[in-house]
Amino acid sequence: MNPLNRRTFLKVMGIAGVGVGSLGLTKMALGANPPEEFPQDSNYGGQVSEASIDMSNGKVNLNQDISMRNSACLGCYSACGNRVKVDNRSGQILSVTGNPYNPINAGLKLPYNSPATDAYLAFSSYKDMGLNYRATLCSRGNATIQSHYDSMRILVPLKRAGKRGEGNWKPITWEQAVNETVEGGKLFSEIGEDQSVEGFKQVRDLVTPLDSEQPEFGPKANQFVFIGGRNDGRTPLAVRFTKAFGTVNWFNHHVS
């Protein structure tokens, strides 16, 4: 029997990991409101593969019913890359994996100018591509599919429908949310409240002092304070908006 060298050991462990990972992702997707006809591979019982690879020459044969989309994971503040598997017929997400183009979740990342077929080869054993470029996600990243299909996920704006602290809310349209945020007014008169709430239109005043007795506070526009969360690509838009609005009060998650 040949001795078990490091490369053979890693290959064996990689194959075992793929089997366990595939089983876990399948069960996870099945428990997250999957399509009525969840696509199954009749030969192996798992998910239908996104592609098949000819191991003799590396030719990738795509499954036209499946799309793979390279994106970023929002499971935590790291914003690692991810790769989303989508059923083209139902539009349902089947699973998420690592993005081989992203240096955060790939030991050796694929060059950005590599063809998309290399991303498929990175999940195979063709010329050790999977050993060198295989990208992974942590448990939280894999669980984002559950967050996406969570029955409690908020998909529309919610407006307070009772007294503060009662926890009563009602869904409203995006148009209503934008209009009330900009225009302000007696927004809660329908539940018996008479106070007038200032909107962006009233707050964006670059002339009137915020406090006439303390001019160092600047104009009334500084009444608007933006407190950011994660820095995942939306920060530049927030910075531009607050500067255009005229307020100096912009705070990021970790930078002030």
pLDDT, tens only, 68-123: 998 889 888 788 899 999 999 999 999 999 999 998 887 789 998 999 899 999 88
Long-range contacts for 219-227 (Cβ within 8 Å, ≥24 apart)?
Answer: 219/246, 221/245, 221/246, 221/247, 222/246, 222/247, 222/248, 222/249, 223/247, 224/200, 224/249, 225/249, 225/250, 225/251, 226/250, 226/251, 227/251
- Report whether 206 contacts 246 (CB < 8 A): yes
224: pLDDT strictly greater than 60? yes
Is 217 inside any structural domain? yes
DSSP 89: T
Is 109 inside any structural domain? yes
pLDDT value for 74: 84
Residues 15, 116, single domain; the answer is yes
Domain count, the chain: 2
- Report whether 253 contacts 77 (CB < 8 A): yes
Look at residues 148, 44, 171, 131 and name the one whose alpha carbon lies nearest to residue 96: 148
| Residue 53: count of CB within 10 angstroms of its CB | 19
Q: What percent of the chain has pLDDT over 70?
A: 79
Amino acid code (one letter) for 47: Q
From residue 111, alpha-carbon distances to 11, 30, 77, 114 in Å are: 23, 34, 24, 5
Is 61 inside any structural domain? yes
In the chain, what is the greatest distance between 2 CA atoms, to the nearest angstrom?
A: 88
pLDDT value for 191: 95
Residues 25, 144, single domain; the answer is yes
Residues 125, 12, single domain; the answer is yes
Is 131 inside any structural domain? yes
Is 235 inside any structural domain? yes
Residues 128, 16, single domain; the answer is yes
Residue with tokens 């997400």: 93
Is 169 inside any structural domain? no
- pTM here is 0.61
pLDDT per position as a tens digit, 115-174: 989 999 988 888 888 778 888 899 999 999 998 999 889 999 999 999 999 999 999 999
Domain containing 63 equals: 8-33+49-148
Report the alpha-carbon distance of residue 71 to residue 129 in Å, rounded: 21
DSSP letter string, 129-179? HHHHH-B---HHHHTHHHHHT-TT---S-EEE-SSTTS--EEE--HHHHHH
Q: What is the CA radius of gyration of the chain?
A: 25
Count, residues in the chain: 256
Residues 114, 210, single domain; the answer is no
Is 118 inside any structural domain? yes
Is 26 inside any structural domain? yes
Report the alpha-carbon distance of residue 131 to residue 6 in Å, rounded: 12
- Report whether 99 contacts 83 (CB < 8 A): yes
